[in-house]
Structure 1
Amino acid sequence: MSEAASRNTLLVAARVRHGWHTQQEFADAYERHALTLGERTGISVRQVRRWESGRSEWPNRDARRVLESMFGLPLEQLGFVRPIASGAAFHRVPESAPEEAPIPPLVEGAEVRRHGGRELVSRLGTALERAAYLDGRRGPGGVLPVTLELVRSIEGMAREARADVRRELLYLGSRAAEFTAWLYRDSGASAGTVLYWHDRAIEWADLCGDGAMHGYVLLRKAQATERTDPARMRDLAHAAVHGPWSLPLRARAEALQQEARALALGGAAPEDVARLLDRAGEALDAAPPGGPVGTATCIGPLCGGYDLDRLMAQSAVCHREAGRPERAATLLREHLATGAFAPRDRAFFTAHLAGALAAAGHPDEAAMTGLSVLRLAAAPRFGQALRELRRSAGLLRPYGRRSTVRELRRALASLPV
C-alpha cells in the first residue's frame, strides 16, 4: 500500500480544523492540553508523523484520553483503528459515523502514476475543481489535507512528465498552490504560511511561462492583504492589471475592483473609488462569455466565472469601506437575492451586509442578518465570513441592550475559538 493510500487523513483534517497547521503546533497543543488534564506528558513531532502516516499502533491509555478530550471525538473518528484480538491476529473494524468523516483523498499517488499525458492533467484538474466546489460548501478543514496531497501529486508527476505535459502540470500546480493559500487563509493560518503558498504559485506560473497566471496570483495576494495595509493591497492589485502580461478581462475587472477597495481603505474620495469601479464594470462588459453563472471559485481559472452579481457584491464592500453604508446595503440586498453564490461566499457577503446595516443605523436588521450568517458559516467554519461578522458585530456595541443584538453576541460568544 502506498503512503498516500495509508495516510490517516481523518487525523490530519481534524488537526487542521482546530487550527494546528503544522505537526509541531499539534504536538505543542497536545502537551498543553495534557497539563489541563493533570497529565505531565507530551508527544514528539515524530509521534505525530507516525499517527498521521497510518502506520501507528493504537494509542496508549493516556494518549487516548488526551486525544479524545482535545478533539471531542472517539479515536475511530480520528482515523485510529481499534485492535480486536483473534488469537495472535488483529483485524480492522469499520469506522463509525461516516457523515463526520472529511472528504476522502481525491487523487492517490499510486493511482495517478497509472495514467499519463493529458489524461493525467485532466484527472488532476477535475480533482482540483471538485476540491474548490466542496470548500465553498463544507469549509477548508476537510479540503486542505486533500489539496496538500494533490499538490504533492502534481509536483511528483511534473518531475517525470515530458516537456509539454510538464508545462500543463506546472500551470495546474500554480492554481493548486494558490488554492492552498486560500484554504490556509480561511483556516486562520499565519500570514507567512499564506505568503509561502502564494509565492509557490507564482514560481510555478513563471516556470511554465504563464504571465497571466502570475498576474492572477498577484490579485489573490492583494485580496489576502490585511485591510490595515491598503498601500500594499493597491500596489498588488495595480501590478496585476498593469504587469507585462495580458490579464483576461474578467480577471482585470476583479483586480480593478480590488484596487478600488484599497483606495477606499486608504481614505480616497468616494468619487475616485466609483471611477475605478466603473472601469471594472467596463472590463466585465467587454469580456467574452465565461463559465456558468455562479461557478467562480478561488482557483479560477483566471476568474472565468466572474459575473456581474459578484462584481456588484464586491463593489458594495468598496462602498462600505468608502463610508457609504446605505449604498452598500442596497447593492448587497439586490445581488445576494439574484446571484448564485456558494454558501461560503454568501456567508461572507452577508456578513458585510450586517456591517453595512449596523453602520447605517439599523441595528435590529443588522443583528438578524448576522444570525443568518452564523447559520451558514458556523458549522463549516468559514473563517473569513466569521471574522467579518465579528468585525460587523463590533459596530453594534452601542445597541447592546436590544434583544436581537444580545442574541447575536451570545451566539458569537458560543463559537469555538
Structure 2
Amino acid sequence: MQGNESLNTAMQESGLTQDELADRVNAHLIRAGYEGTVSDRTVRNWLTGRTGWPHPRQREALEAVFGCTAEALGFSPPARRRSTSNAAEDPLRRRNFLTATSGTAAAMAAPFVGAPPQVGTSDVIRLRQGLDALMALDDIRGGHEGLERAALAGASEALAKQKLGATQRIRLRLFSLAADYTATAAWSALDVRQPDRAHVLLGQALYLAGMAQDTVAELRIWNSYAMLAHQRGERTEAVDSAQAAQATPITKRDPLFASLAHARTAVSHANLVNRQAAIRSLGYAQEALSKADLKDPRPSWMAFYGPAELTAMTAIVHDRIGNPTEAEAASHRALRAIPDQFRRNRALATARLALAQLHQREIDQACATASSVFDLMKGSPIPGRMRSLLGDYYRDLITLAPDAAVAREWGDRYRAEWRRA
C-alpha cells in the first residue's frame, strides 16, 4: 500500500494537521447540507493510501479546501473510471495544484518576470466562502483550537493578498475579511474561555476593522468585548463595550444590528442586577427587531441573531435579575425557535432553561433538562463557555439541594462528562 505523498505535501504547505484538515472538510460538508463525519482517522486513511478514492462529497470538500482536483491531491479513481483525457491532464493539474496550495509565497513568485499580481473579486469571494464555512462549523461544534487556527490562517492570507497591488476597493474588502477572520478566532477563544487570548485577538481585529472602515465588523468586535468583560468579571466595562456597539454607525442603518447591541447591553445591565436598565434595553432590542427585515443579506456570523436568539437572551436577563419564572418561559420559546443547525446555541439555551427551573426549586426537572445538554453535544467536546455554565448549574444545585438523590446522580454524570470532554 503506497502512501499519498501529494496530499501530505499539500497539508504541509498549507500548515494543516490531520485534525485541522478534518475540521475544514467537515465545515464544507456542513455548509453543503451534509453531516460532518470526517475524523483524523479518515484523513490518516487518505494519507496512507488505504482510501484511494474518497466519497464524492468528501472529494468535493477536499477540492474546495485545497483549490485543486482530487487527482492532483494524489487520489485515483478505480481503473474503470479512469480516462486517457484525465491521465493527460494530470501533469498540468499538478502544476496548478502546486501553485494554488503554496499560499502567499507562490502568489508573490509570479510565473513570469514582471507579471502583475492577480488579486481581485474572486479572491474576496473565495475567502468569504472559507469564513462562512468556519461559521457553519462553529454553529455545530463551538469554539476550539482548530477553528481558531483556521481563522487566523484566513486572516493571514487576506492580509497577504491586500499587499499585492489590488485596487483600493479590493484592499478594503480584504482588510474587512482579515478583521472578520480575526474576530472569528477571538470568538473561538471566548467560547473556550481563554480570555487573555481573546483580548489580544480582539485588539487586532478592531485595528483591522478600522483599516477596513467596516462598521459591521466593529459592532461584532464590541459585542465580543462585552462578553469578554463578563468572563473577566468586569461588569461595568461590559456595559461600556455594549454601548460602544450601540454607537457604531451600522446600528443607524440596520435595526437588526441595533437590536443585537441593545440585547447585549440588557444582559450587561442584568449582570449588575440593574433591573430597570436591563428591562429598558430589552424593550429597545425588541422594538429595533420589529423594524428589521430579516431577509436582508448580512455576514454569516450574524445568522445566529433574530427573534429566537433575542428570546434566549431575554431568558438570561430575567434569570439574572431574579425572575426565574419569566426566564423559564422565555427559554421554552427560544428552544422552539432556534434552528436545529445551531446545536451549540440550543445546548446553551437548554442549560439556561435548567438554571431557571433550578432557581424555582424544580430539582428533578432541572436535572433532567441539564442532562439533555450532554445529549445535545454528544460527539463533540463541550466548549469552555458551556462547561462554565454547567459548572454554575452544579454549584447552584449542591447549594439548593445538597442531599437530594437526583442531585448526586446528576453530579456523577457531570463529573463523568467532564472527564470525557
TM (norm. structure 1) is: 0.72
1:224-250 deviations in whole A, cap 9, x for unaligned?
Answer: 322522101000001111246645321
What aligned pairs does 1:19-168 form with structure 2 within 5 A after superposition? 77=41, 92-94=48-50, 106=65, 110-111=100-101, 113=107, 116-141=119-144, 142-160=146-164, 161-168=166-173
Aligned residue for 1:317? Answer: 316
Aligned residue for 2:270? Answer: 264
How far 1:6 moved relative to its partner? 5.4
Larger displacement relative to structure 2 (282-291 or 352-361)? 282-291
What aligned pairs does 1:8-407 form with structure 2 within 5 A after superposition? 8-10=16-18, 77=41, 92-94=48-50, 106=65, 110-111=100-101, 113=107, 116-141=119-144, 142-160=146-164, 161-189=166-194, 191-226=195-230, 228-243=233-248, 246=251, 248-268=254-274, 270-290=275-295, 300=299, 303=302, 306-340=305-339, 342-377=342-377, 379-383=379-383, 384-397=385-398, 398-407=400-409
Structure 2: distance between partners of 1:186 and 1:95: 35
CA change 1:134–1:211 in 2 (3 A) is closer
1:139-183 deviations in whole A, cap 9, x for unaligned?
Answer: 333433322322222122122133221111111111111111111
Aligned residue for 2:95? Answer: none
How far 1:385 moved relative to its partner? 1.9
CA change 1:8–1:95 in 2 (3 A) is farther
CA change 1:278–1:246 in 2 (3 A) is closer
CA change 1:93–1:13 in 2 (3 A) is closer
| Root-mean-square deviation (Å) | 3.4
How far 1:198 moved relative to its partner? 1.0
How far 1:119 moved relative to its partner? 1.2
Q: Which of 390, 410, 413 in structure 1 is aligned with 2:412? A: 410
Amino acid at match of 1:389: L
Amino acid at match of 1:321: R
Structure 2: distance between partners of 1:178 and 1:77: 30
Q: Is the 8 A contact 1:4 1:149 kept in 2?
A: no
How far 1:302 moved relative to its partner? 7.1
CA change 1:134–1:215 in 2 (3 A) is closer
1:27-65 deviations in whole A, cap 9, x for unaligned?
Answer: xxxxxxxxxxxxxxxxxxxxxxxxxxxxxxxxxxxxxxx
Structure 2: distance between partners of 1:149 and 1:94: 29
Amino acid at match of 1:9: T
Aligned residue for 1:62? Answer: none
Structure 1: distance between partners of 2:249 and 2:379: 43
How far 1:4 moved relative to its partner? 5.4
Structure 2: distance between partners of 1:413 and 1:7: 35
Structure 1: distance between partners of 2:360 and 2:199: 35
Classify the secondary structure of the residue corresponding to 2:305: coil
Q: After TM superposition, which residue ranges in structure 1, 4 or more long, deviate above 6 angstroms?
A: 78-82
Structure 2: distance between partners of 1:243 and 1:307: 19
Q: Is the 8 A contact 1:253 1:280 kept in 2?
A: yes
Amino acid at match of 2:178: G
Q: Is the 8 A contact 2:182 2:204 kept in 1?
A: yes
How far 1:381 moved relative to its partner? 2.1
Amino acid at match of 2:149: P
Q: Is the 8 A contact 1:106 1:150 kept in 2?
A: no
Structure 2: distance between partners of 1:355 and 1:412: 15
Structure 1: distance between partners of 2:364 and 2:331: 17
Amino acid at match of 2:65: L
Amino acid at match of 1:287: A
Classify the secondary structure of the residue corresponding to 1:382: coil
Classify the secondary structure of the residue corresponding to 1:288: coil
Amino acid at match of 1:262: S
